[in-house]
């Protein structure tokens, strides 16, 4: 059993942490301590315990105490227990929303979003501490430097989560609904006690801004509708993006295509993803460009067929981008197997100096007997590296790869260094690894071997992007894309 004075040290450490991080004020000290004591049924405070400086150590200690004493929170997995405790220290949604708005008005959106990010990380709503375990590197290609991350920060699934029935009538209805703010979690749904959402207005409608708990890039935010309704790429998409850019010009904002296979993982709640990050697609240059009054259209040099629009005038951008999206949604190109019923776009907007820039990545989710998973979809030979859909973030040139890769590459690393290739049963990378060993030989240094693997993983990602392109990036494919762009320009 943990001594009462040690328990008191944990409580003091958490209260000190909350005050230091700006989650509470000095006057809140007793209220916070009593909230933690009452919630966990802790003994009366005792003095003389050790000094605990790390808040995670305090949380782990309290978790052990809850388990020892049979407190119901002791049954929570570590990740959920952390969220539950941090929820006790997190300011109310109202006070955070007021502060956010106050900083926007007083100092501007850059300071406001920085403040929100810092607070979201301090409350562990955004797990920056876990994200630091992710692997990140870049791979130089003909399309510029692609960004690769191997995501090791997503927690292992709780067996209770896996067993939880999916009724479709759950509360909250999905992971994005505003009802997640302060939600105590349950099997199959994450703990969101420490989660807060910031109201913003887009095209005259109430939306919310939050940061993504799993940090794929700096200040990765999600902007979602108040109402639980399906994602849609339609006439209001572009005005909403431009409205956001006017309020947060230092962020980009983009939307996944709203169709299965080519869309993101959450299609049943209208949302965008944004953030303060420069993606590879941003540096892509134009292969060909067209002037249409105040709007410039460009066919990008990019592995996925993409139309970029640039305009200074917001209304021109709004009209043209909406018209170009509608053009694609009603465009058939039988010679490339493109049927309009399956067309959608991944849309990305950003501000560059005082101009608006929008990238429309053309998507199509048709399937065939030969390609039941999707014609414009990752080929099965690449599934050992990347199996999930290519969504918005990846279409912009940032690969989010599964954490298993970190350990699965070890046999290949050893073989490149000079050992015999010895792999576990059903190792999914065998054919690829054999090809690599033939191409590069062995006898590499550790550093060289690591470099080869990173580069080759990047090249598989590049091929995966090419698989998803509706037009291949060759002479014929480029002509196909240009024909579409010219037809869209004629309609404008
Ligand atoms: Zn929802």
What string of DSSP letters covers 211-261? Answer: E-SS-SSTT-EEEEESS------STTHHHHHHHHHHH-TTSEEEE--SSTT
Supply the pLDDT for residue 165: 56
Asked whether residue 296 is domain-assigned, the answer is no
Asked whether residue 239 is domain-assigned, the answer is no
Strand pairing partners for 141? 144
Supply the pLDDT for residue 26: 98
Asked whether residue 21 is domain-assigned, the answer is yes
Find out whether the peptide bond into 444 is cis, omega within 30 degrees of 0: no
Asked whether residue 448 is domain-assigned, the answer is yes
Which domain range does residue 40 map to?
A: 4-75
CA of 60 from ligand 1 middle (Å) equals 32
Mapped onto helix, strand or coil, the DSSP state of residue 307 is strand
Asked whether residue 127 is domain-assigned, the answer is no
Asked whether residue 144 is domain-assigned, the answer is no
Which residues of the chain fall short of a pLDDT of 70? 154-168
Counting other chains too, the contacts that 111-116 makes at CB distance below 8 Å and 24 or more residues apart are 113/219, 113/221, 113/248, 113/250, 113/251, 113/276, 116/198, 116/209, 116/211
Half-sphere exposure of 268 (CA within 13 A, CB side): 6
Burial of 283 (0-12, 13-18, 19+ CB in 10 A): exposed
Asked whether residue 397 is domain-assigned, the answer is yes
CA of 158 from ligand 1 middle (Å) equals 22
Supply the pLDDT for residue 364: 97
CA of 200 from ligand 1 middle (Å) equals 17
Supply the pLDDT for residue 162: 59
How far apart CA 215 and CA 212 sit, in angstroms, is 6
Supply the pLDDT for residue 300: 98
Distances (CA, A) of 106 to 10, 17, 103, 202, 244: 37, 27, 5, 21, 19
Given 34, 53, 75, the domain boundary residue is 75
Q: How many domains does the chain have?
A: 2
CA of 266 from ligand 1 middle (Å) equals 9
Asked whether residue 31 is domain-assigned, the answer is yes
Look up the pTM and report it: 0.94
Distances (CA, A) of 198 to 106, 132, 173, 223, 226: 17, 25, 19, 9, 11
CA of 166 from ligand 1 middle (Å) equals 15
Supply the pLDDT for residue 158: 58
Pairing status of strand 205-211 against strand 252-255: unpaired
CA of 20 from ligand 1 middle (Å) equals 34
CA of 268 from ligand 1 middle (Å) equals 7
CA of 187 from ligand 1 middle (Å) equals 17
Supply the pLDDT for residue 492: 83
């Amino acid at each position: 059993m943990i001594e009462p004075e040690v328990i008191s040290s944990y409580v003091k450490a958490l209260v000190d942490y909350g005050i230091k991080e700006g989650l509470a004020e000095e006057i809140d000290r007793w209220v916070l301590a009593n909230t933690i004591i009452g919630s966990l049924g802790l003994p009366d405070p005792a003095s003389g315990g050790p000094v605990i400086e790390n808040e995670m150590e305090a949380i782990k200690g309290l978790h052990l105490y809850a388990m020892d004493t049979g407190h119901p929170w002791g049954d929570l997995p570590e990740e959920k227990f952390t969220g539950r405790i941090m929820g006790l220290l997190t300011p109310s949604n109202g006070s955070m929303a007021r502060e956010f708005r106050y900083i926007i008005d007083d100092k501007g959106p850059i300071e406001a979003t920085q403040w929100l990010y810092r607070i979201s990380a301090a409350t562990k709503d955004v797990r920056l501490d876990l994200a630091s375990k992710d692997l990140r590197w870049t791979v130089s290609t003909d399309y510029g430097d692609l960004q690769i991350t191997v995501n090791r920060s997503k927690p292992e699934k709780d067996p209770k989560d896996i067993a939880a029935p999916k009724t479709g009538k759950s509360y909250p209805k999905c992971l994005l609904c505003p009802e997640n703010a302060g939600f105590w979690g349950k099997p199959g749904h994450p703990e969101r006690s420490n989660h807060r959402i910031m109201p913003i207005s887009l095209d005259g409608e109430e939306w919310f801004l939050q940061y993504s708990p799993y940090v794929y890039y700096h200040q990765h935010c999600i902007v979602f509708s108040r109402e639980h309704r399906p994602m849609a790429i339609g006439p209001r998409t572009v005005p909403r993006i431009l409205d956001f850019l006017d309020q947060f010009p230092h962020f980009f904002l983009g939307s996944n295509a709203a169709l299965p296979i080519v869309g993101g993982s959450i299609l049943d709640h209208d949302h965008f993803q944004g953030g303060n990050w420069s993606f590879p697609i941003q540096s892509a240059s134009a292969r060909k460009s067209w002037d249409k009054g105040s709007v410039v259209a460009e066919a990008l040099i990019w592995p996925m067929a993409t139309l970029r629009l640039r305009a200074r005038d917001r209304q021109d951008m709004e009209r043209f981008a909406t018209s170009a999206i509608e053009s694609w949604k009603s465009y058939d190109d039988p010679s490339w197997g493109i049927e309009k019923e399956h067309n959608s776009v991944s849309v990305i907007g950003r501000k560059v100096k005082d101009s608006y820039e929008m990238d429309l990545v053309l998507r199509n989710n048709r399937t065939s007997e030969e390609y039941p998973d999707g014609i414009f979809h990752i080929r099965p030979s690449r599934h050992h590296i990347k199996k999930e859909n290519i969504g918005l973030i990846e279409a912009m040139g940032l690969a989010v790869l599964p954490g298993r890769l970190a350990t699965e590459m070890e046999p290949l690393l050893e073989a490149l260094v000079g050992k015999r290739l010895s792999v576990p049963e059903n190792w999914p990378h065998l054919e690829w690894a054999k090809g690599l060993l033939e191409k590069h030989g062995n006898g590499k240094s550790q550093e060289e071997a690591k470099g080869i693997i990173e580069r080759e993983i990047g090249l598989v990602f590049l091929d995966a992007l090419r698989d998803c392109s509706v037009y291949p990036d060759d002479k014929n494919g480029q002509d196909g894309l240009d024909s579409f762009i010219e037809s869209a320009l004629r309609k404008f």
